[in-house]
Structure 1
Amino acid sequence: MFLTVTANPSVDRTVEVERLTRGALHRGARVYLHPGGKGVNVARALVRNGCKARAVVPVGGTDGQQLVSMLVDHSIEVVRVPARGQVRGNITVVEPDATVTKLNEAGARLSTAEIQALNEAVLKHLAGVDWVVAAGSLPPGVPDRFYADLVHEIRPTGAQVAVDTSGPALLAAVRAAPALVKPNLDELREAAGCPLTTLRDVVVAAEQLRAYGVEAVLASLGKHGAVLVDGAGVWHAEAPAQPRSSVGAGDALLAGFLSAGARGPDALVVGVAWGAAAVSLPGSTMPGPHDVHVHQVVLHSEVAWNRRIDE
């Protein structure tokens, strides 16, 4: 059983257009509507591939009702935390060459009482949970230490915590020493405070995070695959993909890695296969078993240190 907590969930609308031109009228060739937020995406990917997932989300307004309805339709167990503010809506515009333009709302402010209720809902629903995935941005009103506090409170229960967030919230969470963090390249650059242009740079930055007590760092590198750094070694994996939309690909990567045991190169291969599959699907569609091709993943047990990843 996996539990995901998404402090800033969303209803995501993806519009495919022939070409995006500033100031012009566009007619969408295709439109897709999905429940969104990193933790929600992870739950969707897990359930599509036969795992059990419980999603904790603060929800308010008509969009919040729609979000819950869509999650139930996806066979996800929903723990609804009532909130006064409206669940945010995000718009993604995708061009034929897979160029993505995103318009993300900040999200409604959560009150102190709502933040406490969200925290308590997570702790109350840990029965049978092996992994907690704390993922996504934090809405206004939520302190940067929110995910870090969850790590400290969950640790005594025996469940392990994976964190996928950015900025000050990521730095705070790293200092709480979760079992796993999954930054993308930009998030890892920001955390390291320096440019990352080669795989060596990525590994060095990941080791800096591990120095705080983080057991493993899974760094997603877009078209360059992903790097896993843990106490047993360093691995790089990549897979071919026909890009259609990169939205949610990192969430699929994390879900696949967790589903395969969250340890070592075998789990990395599965994670990269899920991520590559997600890139080939429209909108933020999460891949199912028929979309995933593990045999296409190339695993490098010896990292090509000087390979550039800024191209």
Structure 2
Amino acid sequence: MIVTVTPNPSLDRTYELPELRRGEVNRAATDRVDPGGKGVNVALALTAAGHRAAAVLPLGGTSGQLLSELLLRQGIEVAAVPVGGATRTNVSVVEAGGTLTKLNAAGPELTAQESAALLAAVRLAPGTYDRVDWLACCGSLPRGVGPEWYAELVAQVHSGGARIALDTSGPALLAALTARPDVVKPNREELAEAVGRPLATIGDAVDAAGELRKLGAQQVLASLGADGMLLVAEEGSWYGTAPVAAVRSDVGAGDASLAGFLGAGGSGPRALAAALAHGAAAVQLPGSVMPTPADLDPAAVTVTAEIPLDRQLRG
């Protein structure tokens, strides 16, 4: 059992069209609606891979009800915390060349009582801590919830004896590091923001990950986009890449990577390879669709302890 926590979930509506023309009527070739939010995506990817997953999340309004129904249809146990505001809806527009435009809503503002109820719901999530392999806590914090919320959650999970993976950014990430999360998963931009400087090379990313470990992270799983992924831990550091024929949508690719990492044990080069395979498969699927085992190409993944520190990062 892996329990995911998504403080600011969403419905993700995706439109695919040949080209986005600003100021004109655009007709989509396809459209779809998926349950969304980083922790939700992790739960979907885990379930697609045959793992048991539960999702703890605040839900409100008809959009929240639909989100719960979509998750239940896909075999995910839902631990819902009712809130007064409506669950947000995000819109993604994907052009034929792979260009992605996203419109993310802010989401509801949680009251102090709702924030406390969400924290309490994690303790009561299916499985309880002594039967849970990992808790994955992912995404931005909703309005009304202070950056210390994730730090409180990490401390609570550790007091129950479970391991916790954290995928967030900004002040919430920095505050949570003091509670020593078992793994954090920043992307390149989030890693640069955390250390306060740009990252030009893979070596810069390794150094930045090392700084997060000094601040409290036990492992750093860093996504570098098209340049691959890094895993920096006490046991060692590894770098890996996975080829992608064509990017269809990168929505949720990092979440798929985290699911692959946790599903493969959550440490070491084998777990990094699984993260890469899941991420590469996800970007070749529409919208925020999570990959199944049939979508993966683990033979194409390369992982090494000989990290090319001087290699320039693209973009």
Whether the TM-score (by the shorter chain) exceeds 0.5 is yes
- The residue aligned with 1:251 is 255
- The residue aligned with 1:30 is 30
Distance of 1:175 and 1:25 partners within structure 2:
49
CA contact (8 A) 1:196 1:310 kept: no
Distance of 1:189 and 1:93 partners within structure 2:
27
Unaligned ranges ≥5, structure 1: none
Amino acid at match of 2:61: G
> Please, what TM-score do these two structures have when normalized by structure 1?
0.98
- The residue aligned with 1:58 is 58
1:222 is displaced (CA, Å) by 1.1
CA contact (8 A) 2:227 2:314 kept: no
Q: CA RMSD in A?
A: 0.8
CA contact (8 A) 2:5 2:137 kept: yes
- The residue aligned with 1:188 is 191
Distance of 2:57 and 2:292 partners within structure 1:
23
Percentage of identical aligned residues: 51
1:11 is displaced (CA, Å) by 0.2
Q: Which runs of 4+ in 1 moved over 3 A?
A: none
Unaligned ranges ≥5, structure 2: none
1:213 is displaced (CA, Å) by 2.3
- The residue aligned with 1:276 is 280
- The residue aligned with 2:215 is 212
3-state SS of the aligned residue for 1:46?
Answer: helix
Structure 1 window deviating more from structure 2 (22-31 vs 67-76): it is 22-31
Distance of 1:229 and 1:32 partners within structure 2:
37
Matches within 5 A, 1:1-311: 1-125=1-125, 126-127=128-129, 128-241=131-244, 242-311=246-315
1:272 is displaced (CA, Å) by 0.3
CA contact (8 A) 2:242 2:277 kept: yes
Instruction: Render the CA deviation track for 1:27-81: whole Å, top value 9, x for unaligned.
Output: 1111121100000000000000000101001001000000000000110000010
Distance of 2:178 and 2:312 partners within structure 1:
29
CA contact (8 A) 1:62 1:86 kept: yes
Amino acid at match of 2:199: L
Amino acid at match of 1:11: L
Instruction: Render the CA deviation track for 1:209-245: whole Å, top value 9, x for unaligned.
Output: 0002211000011111111000111111111112110
The number of residue pairs the alignment matches comes to: 311
3-state SS of the aligned residue for 1:211?
Answer: helix
Distance of 1:181 and 1:97 partners within structure 2:
32
Amino acid at match of 1:276: A
Instruction: Render the CA deviation track for 1:85-128: whole Å, top value 9, x for unaligned.
Output: 00000000111121111000011000011011100000122341
Structure 1 window deviating more from structure 2 (168-177 vs 272-281): it is 168-177
